[in-house]
């Protein structure tokens, strides 16, 4: 995951639309005295968990669909997590690889108990088909085999995912330079680690290697905290709910600078307070803050990656 950190830093050091405010960053770190508030992985109680391979399958499918809720003002992540959970409780084969390859848009909505077309619905269906096909072709139909192949390495798991599942290849080009962000691939490793409490399918010897998951909630929180500063034009676009184009300099800077800022927070916590904090812990804290403050203005980008 060093390529994520390195390319995020490369962007942050050249950014013209987004700035990381080191002074405000240190103020936030000081305000929590280097102790990140503890947030449990399933603090909302919305996820399926049975302690076995079916949970792994559930999380992989969930993370394949975990993007772009904002075009429907009433749709949130919880609808996907709880909808898939309810479907599995009703039918343990609902997320079998062969079934995933057959779902249509209306059938996906039925799985989620959602009554109207989903944002980027065709893309979501395409990604479901891709997940089912590649799981069946290379991993015996089970995401658990994908995890076993990683041999307790989160970095290896992310590499396997991005190599075999194109829909998880969260790359961008910025000023001619390739930038790696890998939000959904990384969050799958984090979800496993959180769900299984670092044991079994969630045991990763290098869990500290992954970064935060650059979405639209974390940047909004970092901006609210004063850590991210936007240009006046970008601020106006976000506050006016004007779409920020996928792959634009502004969009890449928002995501990359979020990763870079949190890495700097972790470094400062370590040097100033002698505490080791995982990016996952930082992400859970910031994300839960954003969920509780849902009115925070966020950038709006149509993307399958977050």
The Cα 184–Cα 247 span in angstroms is 17
CA distances in angstroms from 47 to 38, 51, 108, 230, listed in the order given: 19, 12, 18, 35
How many Å apart are CA 96 and CA 80, to the nearest integer?
Answer: 17
215 is a catalytic site residue: yes
Asked whether the beta carbons of 77 and 119 are under 8 A apart, the reply is no
The catalytically annotated residue of 96, 170, 215, 283 is: 215
Cβ count near 112 (within 10 Å): 20
208: DSSP letter:
G
And the tokens for 144? Answer: 């658990």
Are 216 and 306 in contact by the 8 Å Cβ rule? The answer is yes
Gap between the Cα atoms of 62 and 77, Å rounded: 9
Residues 6+ apart with CB under 8 A from 50: none
Catalytic residues: 215
């Amino acid at each position: 995951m060093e390529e994520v950190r390195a390319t995020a830093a490369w962007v942050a050091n050249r950014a013209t639309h987004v700035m990381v405010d080191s002074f405000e960053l240190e103020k936030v770190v000081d305000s929590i005295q280097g102790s990140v508030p503890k947030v449990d992985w399933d603090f909302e109680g919305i996820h399926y968990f049975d302690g076995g391979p079916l949970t792994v399958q559930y999380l992989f499918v969930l993370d394949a669909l975990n993007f772009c809720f904002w075009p429907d003002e009433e749709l949130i992540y919880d609808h996907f997590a709880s909808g898939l959970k309810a479907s599995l409780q009703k039918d343990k084969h609902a997320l079998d690889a062969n079934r995933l390859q057959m779902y249509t848009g209306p059938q996906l909505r039925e799985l989620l108990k959602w009554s109207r077309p989903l944002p980027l619905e065709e893309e979501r269906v395409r990604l479901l088909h891709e997940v089912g096909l590649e799981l069946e072709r290379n991993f015996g139909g089970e995401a658990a085999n994908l995890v076993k192949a990683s041999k307790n390495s989160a970095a290896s798991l992310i590499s396997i995912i991005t190599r075999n599942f194109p829909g998880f290849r969260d790359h961008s080009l910025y000023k001619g330079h390739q930038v790696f962000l890998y939000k959904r691939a990384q969050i799958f490793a984090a979800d496993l680690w959180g769900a299984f409490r670092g044991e079994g399918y969630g045991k990763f010897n290098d869990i500290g290697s992954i970064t935060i998951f650059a979405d639209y909630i974390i940047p909004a929180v970092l901006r609210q905290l004063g850590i991210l500063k936007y240009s006046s034009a970008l601020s106006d676009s976000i506050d006016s709910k004007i779409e920020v184009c996928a792959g634009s300099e502004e969009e890449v800077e928002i995501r990359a600078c979020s990763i870079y800022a949190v890495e700097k927070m972790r470094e400062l916590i370590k040097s100033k307070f002698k505490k080791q904090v995982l990016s996952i812990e930082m992400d859970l804290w910031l994300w839960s803050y954003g969920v509780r403050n849902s009115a925070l203005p966020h950038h709006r980008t149509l993307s399958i990656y977050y």
